[in-house]
Chain A
Amino acid sequence: MLKPKQMSRLLIAASRDQMAPIITELYRHNLFHIEEYVDAGAEGYEGFKIGSPLPGASEKSSDLIKIRAITNAIAVQADEVDAKKICPGLELRAKIERELPSLEQEVEDLTVRRSKLDTRVKEYEQKILELIPFTNVPVDMDLYHGYKRFTTFAGNISREVTISAPHEMYFSKGKEKNFIVVIAPTDKRSEVERTLLEAGFQSVAIPVESGSPHGRIDYYSGLITTLNGEIAEINKTLDAVRLKHREFLVACEEFLRAEVEQTEAPLRFATTKQTFVAEGWVPSDRVDAISDALVKVTGGKIFVTALPIDFEHDNVPVEYNNPSFAKPTQVLIDVFSRPRYSEIDPTLMVSIVFPIFFGLILGDVGYGLILLAMAFGLRKFLKGDEGRQLLDVLRNASISSIIFGLLYSEFLGFAIPGLKPVMFSRHLMAEAAEGEAVASHGPMIPELMVMSIWIGILHITLGRILGMINHARQDHGDHRTKAVMANFGWLAVMWGILIAIWSIAAIPLMPNLTGLPSVVSLVNIGGVIGAVLVIVGVLCIARDSMLEVVELPSIISHVLSYARIVAVGLSSVAIAMVVNFIAIGMIIEPQLENFTIFSILIILAGLVIFLLGHALNVALGILGGGLHSIRLHYVEFFTKFYKGGGVKYIPFGMKRRFTED
């Protein structure tokens, strides 16, 4: 928790004839993150070279490429196939040799035919496009060609022209451009051309056709329809191939990928003629297990040892180490950047605070239930790991939204009858109940604002404290003290400003320091303490870096930025209430009072508005609640302590879904 999984650096050395069993064993364990060997004459690696692939690598790679070509052609994706059929490797290998060549031939034939037909369709469509302007001219296409003493001009022109030379002309006015055809004697050609060009003439190629333009277009359209029919036929066949073979194909792909990764692993090892050395990372608690397994599989002809970690130069891969409820949130941290090995992993904090922010923004029982249903319903369509994790994040957020909906007493923008808001009310259009002078649960905007500012102050304070811890852990010497003090300085400035404000003005829900003994006119002791804190803070910041002082206003903007929790939330409440008012108050209720036959139609329209409005608000709610909450983390929280940029832990191996070893 709060720290990535502890890693150990493992060095494996053995003779080359043990390479294959060792690679298979490492692959099976799926734990060893290979540190790639770079031929750069590192200390202790003189005389080593990058290894060469195991035998059979090129055949397997070419098979894999064939499989991928087929899966691309018929659009099969591993995510859409249920992992149900587990094939043993040997059986699959035999099947690949037997069936792959014919399947490849079949798919290739079909796709080649399809692309040829596609090209022809495009050609005919082009011809039709060329013919369309000529449909306005009542002349057959063969009359445009074959003259010795006449020249034909055809093209677009900006206005009508008068040509002095003897000529035949067809002019058709169009919406955007006019089309003109002129036939004139060849010896007057330059004169005609000049006149036309002056009117903005742009020549169009005259298609070599015979018969009327309409007839030709119909002819080509007929051809295109036939070709499209053939293409549809081919697509149907490909679909059939896809349905029949997709389990086989994804299993093959997985099997061959595993084989290729194993045969190519030596490319990442350091080798000599007789021996090889592999370095990599393994979670510390699994070192013994993997060492024992390697010793066993090689019959003891291997040297495995854990090396000390050098934090200055080693790039330790990072694997999250979180309790299961925080795991889905890892996807949000990965979107930003994976933590470094020596850094605090903020996943746990985000997994708790993100749903709370979401709930504060979209606190509505109705919307919460809709989102919860979506989080479970979409599970059928999203099969990838990341998609699942996002849905889990959405599930947690929507549960929080329901809880806050009860606290705010909101259901699709209505107040829940009989339930008074426990938290500050957001009911914008609350009406006073009978016997009440003022609505008892009207909007409490100032309180909500101050609450969100408090959240900001606390969140940022937490971020700065984590920043102090991170710097204390990562930095050394003089810089360490300075960096920690700079973080303290930012905190001091923020709280100094706060204390100064409290000493001047009384704000609801915040400490009131205006009553403290005054020093000079408006300034009391609180103001003095605040000012001292600000000055000390600025000095601390400036000692670390003068340039940072320019950033001082960001303290105010970052704290105020948390007001979006209320602002975005209120906008969603407002939209919901407006939708309810339009649909029910303005459309449905008046109809129910004077009910006629037509009322049914109008009431239905009201219901449609109700549904559309709330659907829009749900979409906006996900965007508003999700994006703004995560943005508060990324921009306001993470910038205080989190750098990221850690290397992802990618163990050598594979989670098999369709095959077994």
Chain B
Amino acid sequence: MAAELVSAVDVGMTVEQIKASQMGMKALGAGIAVGLTGIGTGVAEMGIGSAAVGAVAENKDMFGLALLFTVIPETIVIFGLVVGLLLLFL
């Protein structure tokens, strides 16, 4: 806090402004966490999804397994969401 106050003096910002900008940084961080993990999940599901659709087209019994494989990378974006929510609300 002391360091923040010093910097506040330096750039001429009030404590309220600093708090607000910290909130903004948190929001940015949450957005980046969700966005990047979303991209990661997308990239991972791209290959699995196309292979899964191919497998299901050949053999419909594969559907359950194919679905399962396709959703495995979703865990990544869930982690991102968890991090984002923790950042915003904790």
- Residue in contact with B75 in the complex, picked from A446, A561, A627, CB distance below 8 Å: A561
Give A453's nearest chain B residue, CB to CB: B82
Assess the A634–B85 pair: CB atoms within 8 A.
Answer: no
Q: A563-B82, A567-B78, A627-B71 are in contact. Are A445 and B89 (CB under 8 A)?
A: yes
Residues of B within 8 A of A446 (CB): 86, 89-90
Q: Which residue of A lies closest to B90 (CB)?
A: A446
Q: Are A449 and B64 in contact (CB under 8 A)?
A: no
Interchain CA distance A291-B63 in the complex, whole Å: 39
A216 in contact (CB, < 8 A): no
| Closest chain B residue to A442, Cβ basis | B89
Instruction: Tell me whether B63 and A449 are in contact (CB under 8 A).
Output: no
**A631 near B86 (CB under 8 angstroms)?**
no
Chain B 59-90, CB within 8 Å of chain A: the 1/0 string?
00001110110011011001101100110111
B74→A563 contact, CB < 8 A = no
A632, closest chain B residue (CB): B71
Contacts of B64 in A (CB 8 A): 335-337, 634
Assuming the A-B contacts A563-B82, A631-B68, A635-B68, are A445 and B75 also in contact, with contact meaning beta carbons closer than 8 angstroms in the complex?
no
**Per-position 1/0 for A621-659, Cβ under 8 A of B:** 000000110010011000000000000000000000000
Q: Which of B14-72 contact A (CB under 8 A)?
A: 63-65, 67-68, 71-72
In the complex the two chains form, is B85's CB within 8 Å of A567's CB? Answer: yes
B71 touches A445 (CB 8 A): no
- Residues of B within 8 Å of A631, CB to CB, are 67-68, 71, 74
Chain B residues with Cβ under 8 A from A634's Cβ? 64, 67-68
Are A567 and B81 CB-contacts (below 8 A) given A445-B88, A634-B64? Answer: yes
Bound together, the chains give a CA A203 to CA B50 distance in angstroms of 38
Q: Is A531 engaged at the interface, CB distance under 8 Å to the other chain?
A: no
B78 touches A560 (CB 8 A): yes
A557 at the interface (CB under 8 A from B): yes
Chain B residues bordering chain A, tally (CB within 8 A): 18
Residue pair A564, B78 in contact (C-beta under 8 Å): yes
Complex CA distance for A567 and B90, rounded to whole angstroms: 15
Per the bound structure, the CA–CA distance linking A355 and B88 in Å amounts to 29
Q: Which positions 532-591 of chain A face chain B at CB distance < 8 Å?
A: 557, 560-561, 563-564, 566-567, 570-571
User: A560 and B86: CB pair below 8 A?
Assistant: no
Which chain B residues border A566 with CB–CB below 8 Å? 85
Question: How distant is the Cα of A449 from the Cα of B83 in the complex, in angstroms?
Answer: 11
A561 to B89, CA, bound (A): 19
Count of chain A residues with a beta carbon within 8 Å of a chain B beta carbon:
21
Distance A335 CA – B86 CA, assembled complex (angstroms): 35
A207 within 8 A of partner (CB): no
A4 lies within 8 A of chain B by Cβ:
no
For B72, give its contact among A336, A571, A628, A635 (CB under 8 Å): A635
Q: Which of A315-340 contact B (CB under 8 A)?
A: 335-337
Q: Is the CB of A449 within 8 A of B85?
A: yes
Taking the closest CB of chain B, its distance from the CB of A390, in whole angstroms, is: 13
Please measure, in the bound complex, the distance between the C-alpha atom of A635 and the C-alpha atom of B71, giving whole angstroms: 9
- Selected contact of A335 from candidates B63, B79, B90, CB within 8 Å: B63
A443 to B81, CA, bound (A): 16
Q: Closest Cβ of chain A: how far from B77's Cβ, in Å?
A: 9
Assess A560 versus B85: contact at CB under 8 Å? Given A631-B71, A635-B72.
no
Query: Closest Cβ of chain A: how far from B89's Cβ, in Å?
Result: 4
List A contacts of B67 (CB < 8 A). 335, 627, 631, 634
Give the interface centre of B67, B78, B88, B89 by most chain A CB atoms within 10 Å.
B78
- When C-beta atoms are compared, the residue in chain B nearest to A565 turns out to be B78
Task: Give A634 to B85 CA distance when docked, in angstroms.
Answer: 26
Asked if B71 contacts A443 (CB within 8 A), the reply is no
**A443 near B68: Cβ-Cβ < 8 Å:** no
Q: In the complex, are the beta carbons of B86 and A449 less than 8 A apart?
A: yes
Measured between alpha carbons, how far is A39 from B64 in the docked complex, in Å?
Answer: 34
Instruction: Report the nearest A residue to B82, measured CB to CB.
Output: A563
The residues of A that contact B68 with a CB separation of less than 8 Å are 336, 631, 634-635
Given known pairs A336-B64, A631-B68, the reply for A443 and B78 (CB within 8 Å) is no
Least CB distance from A555 to B in Å reads 13
Cα-based distance from A336 to B78 in the complex (angstroms): 23
Cα separation A470 to B33 with both chains bound (whole Å):
40
Taking a contact as CB atoms under 8 Å apart, the answer to whether A449 and B71 are in contact is no
Residue of B whose beta carbon sits closest to that of A447: B89
In the assembled complex, the CB of A510 is this many whole angstroms from the nearest CB of chain B, namely 14
CA distance A563 to B81 in the complex (A): 9
| List of A residues within 8 angstroms of B82 by Cβ | 449, 560, 563, 567
A-B contact sample (19 more), CB < 8 A, given A561-B75, A634-B64: A336-B68, A337-B64, A445-B89, A446-B86, A557-B75, A560-B78, A560-B79, A563-B82, A564-B78, A564-B81, A566-B85, A567-B85, A570-B85, A628-B74, A631-B67, A631-B71, A631-B74, A635-B68, A635-B72
Q: Which 9 A-B pairs have the closest CB atoms?
A: A445-B89, A335-B64, A567-B81, A564-B78, A336-B64, A563-B82, A631-B71, A634-B68, A561-B75
Question: Chain B: residues with CB nearer than 8 A to chain A?
Answer: 63-65, 67-68, 71-72, 74-75, 78-79, 81-82, 85-86, 88-90
**Which residues of A does B touch, CB under 8 Å?**
335-337, 443, 445-446, 449, 557, 560-561, 563-564, 566-567, 570-571, 627-628, 631, 634-635
- Report 6 cross-chain contacts, Cβ distance below 8 Å, ordered by A residue: A335-B63, A446-B89, A560-B79, A563-B78, A571-B81, A631-B74
